[in-house]
Amino acid sequence: MSQLQPLNESRIPDESPVNPLQSISQSVLLSQLPIDASTALQEYSADSQKVKIKILFKAVGATKMLKQPICTVSSTQRFDIVGRWLRKQLQCSSKDSLFLYVNSAFAPAPDEIVGNLYKCFKVADQLVINYCTTPAFG
């Protein structure tokens, strides 16, 4: 019978990783973008400021209809400006409830950019906004 002999312990030494994982707040920030990227961003922002978005407002339920249901807004504006404009048109106070939905599907955040909503959810080159004074669509 052979007896098992203890093996000489061979151990792989622990090493600290060459690039330890960092949180986003600790990651390296670029001091400037590469020339091609910064040029593309400047061209994109210049084009996006010129674009006017058509918004079609549709009343839901017993909510008043607008006399002029189509308006235009700059693509760089936040969605909260649409809500404020609609309140003014409907003569609602800031205390009155007003719910806005894109394509009868979801309520966008007030800080959402109108141009982004248009790019993703336009219908026939218009952004359709349904509005009502009571919650609807979920």
Question: Could you read off the pLDDT of 87-112 as tens digits, one per residue?
Answer: 999 998 888 899 999 999 999 999 99
pTM, rounded to two decimals: 0.64
Output the pLDDT for position 12.
46
DSSP-derived 3-state class of residue 34: coil
**Tens-place pLDDT, residues 8-36:** 444 545 555 455 555 555 566 667 666 67
Output the pLDDT for position 62.
87
Fold of 52-132: Ubiquitin-like (UB roll) (3.10.20)
Please give the average per-residue pLDDT across 38-49, as a whole number: 68
In which region does residue 131 sit, left (phi positive, over 0), alpha (psi from -120 to 50) or beta (all else)? beta
CA 23/CA 85 separation, integer angstroms: 41
